[in-house]
Amino acid sequence: MQKTLFLILTIGLAICVISLNTVAQDAQDWHLRGLLEGVKARIGRGSITGNIASCDDGKRLAVACSIGIWVYDVETDKTLNLLTGHTEWILSVAFSPDGSLLASASIDRTVRVWDVHTGTELWTLQGHEGRTTDVAFSQDGKTLASASEDETIRLWDVHTGKHLRTLEGHIGV
């Protein structure tokens, strides 16, 4: 099981790096090329375990890694934060529509909400009985959805951290 997971993650990482490299070459965008090199350099300090998310304005990039979430400024090629708090691998990250918040889903069965500007953890959302696999913000940024291997989707109030409701029976989530 672990070998299969490692193989899948390795292939996923290769696809991400190749995709970013292709975009950087096609666009001839030195900022994106520099950022790609930064992402490659960080792999030695924590392997990429989940997705890579870009905020809507394209100014920040979040990378889910084994040691936390690296947040980069795309325009300056600088690392803004390393967000830590999850106790297991992070599978998914997502920016809020206004780019001020970041949500993360982890194998540790929690969802965390972070202030992107300060790096502060605002909420630890608990309740899933299986690993959390994905997160997504509503278009208005008021609600966060989290998916889990427990075949549920939970909806959360972003501003209070309160659980709103659970959607059940989502096999293969």
Print pLDDT tens along the chain (173 aa). Answer: 544 444 344 444 444 444 444 444 444 454 455 555 555 444 445 677 788 999 999 999 999 988 899 999 999 989 999 999 999 999 999 999 999 999 999 999 999 999 999 999 999 999 999 999 999 999 999 999 999 999 999 999 999 999 999 999 867 55
CA distance 132 to 146: 7
In this structure, are residues 51 and 64 in contact, taking their beta carbons and an 8 Å threshold?
yes
CA distance 36 to 12: 15
In the chain the domains, ranked by start, together with CATH numbers, are: 49-168 (2.130.10.10)
In this structure, are residues 82 and 69 in contact, taking their beta carbons and an 8 Å threshold?
yes
Q: What is the pTM of this model?
A: 0.72
Q: Which residue has the tokens 């500007």?
A: 117
Total length of the chain = 173
CA distance 40 to 145: 30
